Amino acid sequence: MVAQEQQQLSKAEQYYQHALKGFIAYNDPLKQAGTYIHLGQVMQEQLHYQEAREYFLLALKIFRFYGDMKSEAIALNNLARFWKVSGDMTLPAAVAPLIGFSGQETEELFRRVNEHKMIQEGSSKNAPERW
């Protein structure tokens, strides 16, 4: 079962790398950034944390540069999940200057995103009143 999952992740990585080449050739940075998100997710699932981190950060930089706030939020969401899964304590400091926060503010943002995800994944009776 694990070998099958690993094979599927490897195929997904190949697919996204191929798509990325096309988006680079056609100079489509927003689609490149979206592909970096997918590659980061694949790398994270394969426990290739350094590569996942690089892809997520690259996507965030591109979305921020082009002012795509919705996609920037998606990148930050992925980075927050990555931070929780990987235990990468240096990540908030790396993200902070990209979004104009302090490292401490970024860490708090990541905590809140992850708490919110836990509530969404649980039953609605566990959700705070204000939601």
Q: Is 95:106 a contact under the CB 8 Å cutoff? A: yes
Burial zone of 36 (CB within 10 Å; 0-12 exposed, 13-18 middle, 19+ buried): buried
Three-state secondary structure along the chain?
CHHHHHHHHHHHHHHHHHHHHHHHHCCCHHHHHHHHHHHHHHHHHCCCHHHHHHHHHHHHHHHHHCCCHHHHHHHHHHHHHHHHHHCCCCHHHHHHHHHCCCHHHHHHHHHHHHHHHHHHHCCHHHCCCCC
For residue 65 the two structure tokens come to: 């540069």
Confidence of residue 131 (pLDDT cuts 50, 70, 90): very low
What mean pLDDT is predicted for residues 60-88? Answer: 97
Domains and CATH numbers, the chain: 2-126 (1.25.40)
- The reported pLDDT for the residue numbered 4 is 79
pLDDT in tens, 82-122: 999 999 999 999 999 999 999 999 999 999 999 987 666 65
- The 10 Å Cβ neighbour count of residue 65 is 13
- State the chain's mean pLDDT as an integer: 90
